[in-house]
Chains A and B, each alone.
Chain A
Amino acid sequence: EVQLVQSGAEVKKPGESLKISCKTSGYSFTTHWIGWVRQMPGKGLEWMGIIYPGDSDTRYSPSFQGQVTISADKSISTAYLQWSRLKASDTAMYYCATARDTDAASPFPHWGQGTLVTVSS
């Protein structure tokens, strides 16, 4: 069974750094793209970017390029999303999801439970 377990909710202040995680199991981590999706409070889904853990090839949506960093540690089948300087507008639920197959364009059939990030002074 494919499982994606995300790290717990975070409350941070503007300007702080943060790294959230997505631990996976039940499939070949290194051969399937894994992505991150943002959902701001009461809003829709936004595709942030994807990473291929096998070689760490990473692609970002233009909207998120330079704003976040996506990484992966294949030794522990875990993907990460990090910020160097959080802003209040980063307050959102963040989901990780793994692709259906080895194609970067493939959809996400498996999702984590979400990590709520709250940024407030």
Chain B
Amino acid sequence: QSALTQPASVSGSPGQSITISCTGTSSDVGGYNLVSWYQQHPGKAPKLMIYEVNKRPSGVSNRFSGSKSGNTASLTISGLQAEDEADYYCCSYAGSSNSVFGGGTKLTVL
């Protein structure tokens, strides 16, 4: 299975909204409502931000939201804050008890 496709980088100013896309195939993103998103700050372990396309774990800000259309999932961050600057990875179930990550997107808060 191939890595999911994400833009290498996105940027936005404080207070703005940004969206990160994650494109797969009908065998992963399009085939299951099992897309999750992780935030990773430099030198830290990843943190789960969204699961099952649009659900937020307890403690995650409601500024983070997820959606999916066909083979593409999206993460939207509204009201950008400096602390949101990090790498973001999507992950999708791909069948046969396997999952696959996206290549990652570096978010810069200008």
Contact = CB atoms under 8 A, between A and B. Distances in A.
A60 B48 CA distance: 21
Given A100-B51, A109-B48, A114-B45, A44 B101 contact: yes
A61 interface: yes
Interface string A80-121: 000000000000000101001000111111011110000000
A27 to B, nearest CB: 15
A33 B13 CA distance: 39
Give the size range of B's interface with the partner.
20 to 34
A44 B102 contact: yes
A89 to B, nearest CB: 17
- Among B40, B45, B57, the most chain A Cβ lie within 10 Å of the Cβ of B45
A14 B46 CA distance: 28
Interface stretch (B17-25, B67-75, B77-85, B88-96): B88-96
A37 B3 CA distance: 13
A23 interface: no
B103 interface: yes
A61 B100 CA distance: 8
B89 A105 contact: no
B51 A105 contact: no
Nearest to A114: B45
Given A45-B89, A47-B91, A95-B46, A109 B101 contact: no
B46 A111 contact: yes
B100 A44 contact: no
B91 A50 contact: no
Nearest to B1: A62
A61 B3 CA distance: 11
Given A44-B101, A47-B91, A47-B99, 6 more contacts: A44-B87, A45-B104, A95-B46, A105-B97, A107-B48, A112-B45
What 9 A-B pairs are tightest by C-beta distance, nearest first?
A107-B36, A44-B104, A59-B97, A111-B45, A104-B97, A105-B93, A107-B51, A45-B101, A109-B48
